[in-house]
Amino acid sequence: MTLIKSISGIRGTIGGAIGDNLTPVDTVKFAAAYGTWLKNNSGKDKNLVVIGRDARISGEMVNKLVTSTLTALGINVIDFGLSTTPTIEMMVTEYQADGGIILTASHNPKQWNALKLLNNKGEFVSGKDGEEILDIAENEAFDFVEVDDLGEYTEDSTGIEKHIAKILEHPLVDIEKIKAAGFKVAIDAVNSTGGISIPPLLDQLGVTYTKLYCEPTGHFPHNPEPLKEHLTEISAKVVEDKADFGIVVDPDVDRLALISEDGEMFGEEYTLVAVADYVLGKVKSPTVSNLSSSRALRDIAQKHGQEYFPSAVGEVNVVEKMKEVGARIGGEGNGGIIFGDLHYGRDSLIGIALFLTHLAEKKLKVSELRAEYPSYFMSKNKIQLTPEIDVDDLLKKVEKHYADQEVNTIDGVKIDFPTEWVHLRKSNTEPIIRVYTESTSQEEADELANKMITIVKSLI
């Protein structure tokens, strides 16, 4: 089964059987559920939804299904076409819409697509709202309007332009310093919408660039998740072009990975660390990242005399914690930067602008900047379980086993040791426990993971 229904949206592979894959029927059903939820909760006679998509091959088809379903419910739709996730998040508030939908399966391969659902703040719907939408879909509790009440459909091609303008207006983005630095970069946009959003941003900032896979054809030339093993071509190009660094994004442009001038990965965990270092050098603010993100962000916050707060895994949880503690900068260790001054969503474009300003001020090579930050190494593993095992009970046994350590249970069990940590989370879709560890060397991170797996199995 490759149809995943969750509180944040619906995701699946194109084609196949109804209920097992993301078929047209499933797409319409879920779009109708979202539209019905919106109408039930907005208190308005007429609702407005903004929509955009990444460049994947199925995007245009899915777009037609979703927009037609929404207008059939009497909802007005503004379609921004090829766009980015952060752009659509910003357009919700820019146009005072009641919600938004982004058609993207993020870092999943081209066979996949998804509906990511936004509320009227341009943020992902909450768990409670997501459950309500799932319930409406399950019961098919929607009612379409008569012909005179159909919603209006309009197209708008200015979303990315408006997004970039907001970035350039922010005082922490120093356009003149960036221009004076004379940067040259290489871009890998995996043939999606990073190719139509990053170049115009760099043009405005006076940065020269070479492009790799920047045509939004949806034919991803490599696995679109921006991990080291998928980025050999752009790493070689950075060195070949003598670029200052490389920029890599996923298909919907909410994850940012950087490559140093020597072709080495800057480290996806360190994108947020570097940007936070810059922001905290200018403003006083707590920082937030999820429990599975690097300890390096906590170290940087402490360096600037600021507090660090962990959140449960998931962007909506990071955003909730950022608002709770008043954090202007936060995110996820997968290259997801959330800069609350602009909007509460992961945004590679503001990340690029802030990183360029930081680099212009530091006057360092990117590899030298990376060397200024504490080095941590991660290991990601899983423990396969049989379906009858009570995972929650097992995690409680782990918590009790480490009662003399610093333990956090807001999302699974995280145990903080003096120089390393381990985070155990149960999967929502399969009988496994995910085991994330971090230490001061790869060998020690792997060793901690193996030790933890042994201990967990002994407690079964």
Distance in angstroms (rounded) separating the CA atoms of residues 416 and 114: 35
Tokens 């914690």, residue? 321
With cut-offs at 50, 70 and 90, classify the pLDDT of residue 432.
Answer: confident
Tokens 């170049």, residue? 199
- 404: buried, middle or exposed (CB in 10 Å: 19+, 13-18, 0-12)? exposed
Q: What is the CATH number of the domain that holds 386?
A: 3.30.310.50
217 plus 360 within the same structural domain:
yes
288 plus 206 within the same structural domain:
yes
Specify whether the CB–CB gap between 151 and 73 falls below 8 A: yes
β strands within 265-392, DSSP E: 287-290, 308-311, 329-332, 336-339, 377-384
3-state helix, strand, coil in the chain (%, to 5): 40, 25, 35
210 plus 271 within the same structural domain:
yes
Structure tokens that stand for 1 in this block: 């089964």
187 plus 283 within the same structural domain:
yes
Residue 256 phi/psi, 5-degree rounding, is: -120, 120
SS3 (DSSP) at 198: helix
Q: Residue 393: how many CB atoms within 10 A of its CB?
A: 10
Q: What is the mean pLDDT of residues 193-209?
A: 98
pLDDT for residue 363 is more than 60: yes
Q: Look at the pTM and tell me if it is higher than 0.85.
A: yes
Reported as a single tens digit per residue, the pLDDT across 329-350 is: 999 998 999 999 999 999 999 9
221 plus 116 within the same structural domain:
no
152 plus 170 within the same structural domain:
no
pLDDT for residue 4 is more than 90: no
Which of 106, 289, 292, 293 is catalytic? The answer is: 106
pLDDT for residue 187 is more than 80: yes
Q: What percent of the chain has pLDDT over 90?
A: 92
Average pLDDT value over all residues in the chain: 95
Structure tokens that stand for 150 in this block: 């159909």
> Could you give the number of structural domains in the chain?
3
Distance in angstroms (rounded) separating the CA atoms of residues 403 and 397: 10
The CA-based diameter of the chain, rounded to the nearest angstrom, is 67
432 plus 403 within the same structural domain:
yes
With cut-offs at 50, 70 and 90, classify the pLDDT of residue 396.
Answer: very high
The pLDDT assigned to 386 comes to 86
Specify whether the CB–CB gap between 301 and 284 falls below 8 A: no
Side-chain half-sphere exposure of 378, counting CA atoms within 13 A: 17
SS3 (DSSP) at 61: helix
Distance in angstroms (rounded) separating the CA atoms of residues 185 and 337: 20
Planar angle of CA 146, 149, 152, nearest 5 degrees: 130
Specify whether the CB–CB gap between 443 and 378 falls below 8 A: no
With cut-offs at 50, 70 and 90, classify the pLDDT of residue 34.
Answer: very high
CA nearest 85: which of 60, 55, 112, 110? 55
Q: What is the mean pLDDT of residues 403-416?
A: 94
385 plus 356 within the same structural domain:
no
Q: Residue 388: how many CB atoms within 10 A of its CB?
A: 6
Q: What is the mean pLDDT of residues 61-82?
A: 98
SS3 (DSSP) at 117: strand
With cut-offs at 50, 70 and 90, classify the pLDDT of residue 460.
Answer: confident
CA nearest 280: which of 329, 337, 323, 333? 329
pLDDT for residue 1 is more than 60: no
SS3 (DSSP) at 367: helix
Last residue of a domain, one of 156, 172, 203: 156
Query: Between 389 and 355, where is the model more confident?
Result: 355
The pLDDT assigned to 429 comes to 64
Distance in angstroms (rounded) separating the CA atoms of residues 3 and 17: 10
131 plus 191 within the same structural domain:
no
With cut-offs at 50, 70 and 90, classify the pLDDT of residue 61.
Answer: very high
219 plus 327 within the same structural domain:
yes
SS3 (DSSP) at 458: helix
Distance in angstroms (rounded) separating the CA atoms of residues 300 and 20: 45
pLDDT for residue 302 is more than 90: yes
106 belongs to the catalytic site? yes
Last residue of a domain, one of 337, 371, 405: 371
CA nearest 30: which of 135, 125, 120, 152? 135
125 plus 226 within the same structural domain:
no
With cut-offs at 50, 70 and 90, classify the pLDDT of residue 212.
Answer: very high
pLDDT for residue 8 is more than 90: no
Q: What is the mean pLDDT of residues 87-91?
A: 98
Q: Which residues fall within 8 angstroms of residue 81, CB to CB, at 6 or more apart?
A: 52, 53, 63, 155, 157
Lowest-pLDDT range, 65-69, 228-232, 386-390? Answer: 386-390
The whole domain housing 8 covers 3-156
7 plus 128 within the same structural domain:
yes
CA nearest 254: which of 180, 200, 186, 315? 315
Q: What is the mean pLDDT of residues 146-156?
A: 98
Last residue of a domain, one of 156, 176, 210: 156
Q: What is the mean pLDDT of residues 308-336?
A: 96
- 17: buried, middle or exposed (CB in 10 Å: 19+, 13-18, 0-12)? exposed
Q: What is the mean pLDDT of residues 78-99?
A: 98
